[in-house]
Each structure stands twice: as structure tokens, then as C-alpha cells.
Amino acid sequence: MSKQVKIIIEKDGKYLLIKRKDNEKKEHKGNWECAGGKLENKESFNEAAIREVKEETNLDIEIKRIIKEIKNNEKVSAVVFLAKPKSSNVKLSKEHSDFGWFTYEELKKLEPITYKDFFLELIDLSHKNYSA
């Protein structure tokens, strides 16, 4: 099983989502999602998070903390990070067609979001026991 990262990018109470192109043959085409992807050979979860955000949005980020680790057979298979952007100049990859900064309330109404309930749960977790 490949290891993965997801990155929730928050700035001024808004969260960055990117929209998958409709013509993508991949699962979840046309859906809104947070940045993320698979780890490359010998890459750490942190390194993968920084690289994936750069590839998908052209943003440099500061990782604030781990929101959730997902385990499979006692081994970490995915990590969800909370991050802050160092700038707000988003430049999308060819996999994505749009982006937006959304408040939590806007996210609850936005459709379609890949794994929406889980994503909103992660947003809730990002606020617990944390002060920026």
C-alpha cells in the first residue's frame, strides 16, 4: 500500500481547496479537494507534503502540525497536516482547473468535495488543542 499525505492549508480562517479537472480520467474528477498525494521513494511525510503543495498550487508552506495519522496494520499509511501558506499566489497544476479560499461555513455548502464528511471532521480536528 502506498503512503499518502493530505494538507489542509489555512489562512485567515479560510481553507484552500483545489478543483480537479472534469476531463481527468481519475477518480473524483470535477471534485474539490485539499492538496495531497503519494510519497515518492525514500521521501518523508513532511517532504511529500511540501512537494505536493508546491506541485499542485505553487505555494510554499509552513507545516504547523499533524492533524491525523491513519494507520494500516499498525503502520502509518497516511498523514494529514495543517499548514500555513508563505504567500497567496496560487498557480494551479495541469490536474486542476480552479481554486478557492473558503470559510468553514462555505465548505459545508460546497459541492462536490471529495470525502466531504471526513474533510470537515479534519477541519474540526485542526482547531482542537491548537492556537496559532
Q: Tell me the C-alpha distance between 113 and 90, whole Å.
A: 19
Torsional sign, CA 21, 14, 105, 115: positive
Q: What is the pLDDT of residues 82-126, one digit of tens each?
A: 999 999 899 999 989 999 999 999 999 999 998 899 999 999 988
pLDDT of residue 63: 98
SS3 118: helix
Query: What whole-number distance in Å separates Cα of residue 104 and Cα of residue 73?
Result: 33
The reply to whether the predicted model has a pTM over 0.95 is: no
Give the residue ranges of DSSP H helices in the chain: 45-57, 104-109, 116-127
Q: Of 131 and 122, which is predicted with more confidence?
A: 122
Tens of pLDDT, residues 38-84: 999 999 999 999 999 999 999 999 999 999 999 988 899 999 999 99
